[in-house]
Structure 1
Amino acid sequence: MRSPRIKYTIRLPADLTRRLADHARARRASQTAVVEAALESFLSPDGAERLEAALARRLDHLSRQLDRAAWNLDLSNETLALFIRFWLTSTAPLPDTAMKAAQAMGKERWQRFVESLSRRMESGPRLKAEITEDVPGAGER
């Protein structure tokens, strides 16, 4: 048996009335059903717990995203540091007579590097993907 229904007359701002009508139409429900559900949710004693649980899930998701971003940043920093250390220890200084030719070649090589990097960033595989494939357990971070 259904509980008796009591009629209420309330006044709502025009903007809220429009939003209520739009929401009810989108949900294919009556405006009364939408208002009943909203009041039930608002007056529910476990509403605060549900909100806290939803917020906790969202914060956990953001925390995992931040951890992945930090791992990618660490990977980039370590890759750059390793390359610089290798380059500095394996490259001998040039005599002054060869400096101009080396600078010209360096500019050309830099341009090719930037073009290659652009292509790789647009469509190619990422270093992170190669690392996780090559090193067991690296993708578990």
Structure 2
Amino acid sequence: MSRARLNLFIQPEHAKRLNELALKKGVSKSSIIAAALASWLSPESGDQREMVIAKRLDRLSRQFERLERDQNILIETMALYVRYYLTVSTPVPEAHQEAARAQGKLRFTQFVEQLGRHLQRGRSLVRDVHEEVQTTGEHP
């Protein structure tokens, strides 16, 4: 098989890495360049690369859609809670504010502990609610 001689100019750091790879693999630099060029020019590898990239993009799109759905659920939940809280809560008289603060601190501590237990179980409340809505056929 005849071969064509080429004089190429590459970046010094690429030349260094090519040298190291050739020494490590015990092959010539020409054979590494030939294999890389064959892979790059091969129509099959180009199609494979495109398929792999398309699969990855599809997966990323699905993950992004789930994140967007979860974020929308979180925003709506928070907005609904704040509206409800502001609608039903009455102002605390001055004489009872210290007791109310202590009760609020206790409730918040309990909330954080419950949240910690829920997160340790590895389940997502957003996912649970979404699955429940899907099984009952309701739409948020």
Distance, in Å, in 1 between the alignment partners of 2:65 and 2:86 is 31
What corresponds to 1:96 in structure 2?
Answer: 94
What corresponds to 1:83 in structure 2?
Answer: 81
Distance, in Å, in 2 between the alignment partners of 1:39 and 1:77 is 51
Distance, in Å, in 1 between the alignment partners of 2:123 and 2:41 is 52
Give SS of 1:75's match.
Answer: helix
Answering whether residue 118 of structure 2 is matched by residue 116 of structure 1, we say no
Number of residue pairs matched by the alignment:
129
Which runs of 5 or more residues in structure 1 are unaligned?
A: none
Deviation at 1:107, TM superposition (A): 1.0
Deviation at 1:105, TM superposition (A): 0.8
2:128 aligned residue (102, 127, 130): 130
- Overall identity of the aligned pairs, in %: 33
Give SS of 1:117's match.
Answer: helix
Distance, in Å, in 1 between the alignment partners of 2:4 and 2:23 is 18
Deviation at 1:77, TM superposition (A): 0.9
Which runs of 5 or more residues in structure 2 are unaligned?
A: 8-13
Aligned counterparts, 1:25-40, within 5 A: 36-40=34-38
Distance, in Å, in 2 between the alignment partners of 1:20 and 1:123 is 50
Distance, in Å, in 1 between the alignment partners of 2:40 and 2:122 is 50
Cα RMSD for the two superposed structures: 3.3
Report the TM-score, using the length of structure 2 for normalisation: 0.68
Aligned counterparts, 1:47-62, within 5 A: 50-62=48-60
Deviation string, structure 1 residues 79-118 (Cα, Å, up to 9, x no partner): 1112112222222222221111111111111112122212
Give SS of 1:135's match.
Answer: helix
Deviation string, structure 1 residues 62-89 (Cα, Å, up to 9, x no partner): 2221111111111111111121122222
Answering whether residue 21 of structure 2 is matched by residue 19 of structure 1, we say yes
Q: Cα–Cα, structure 1 residues 48 and 124, in superposed 2: closer, same or farther, change >3 Å?
A: closer
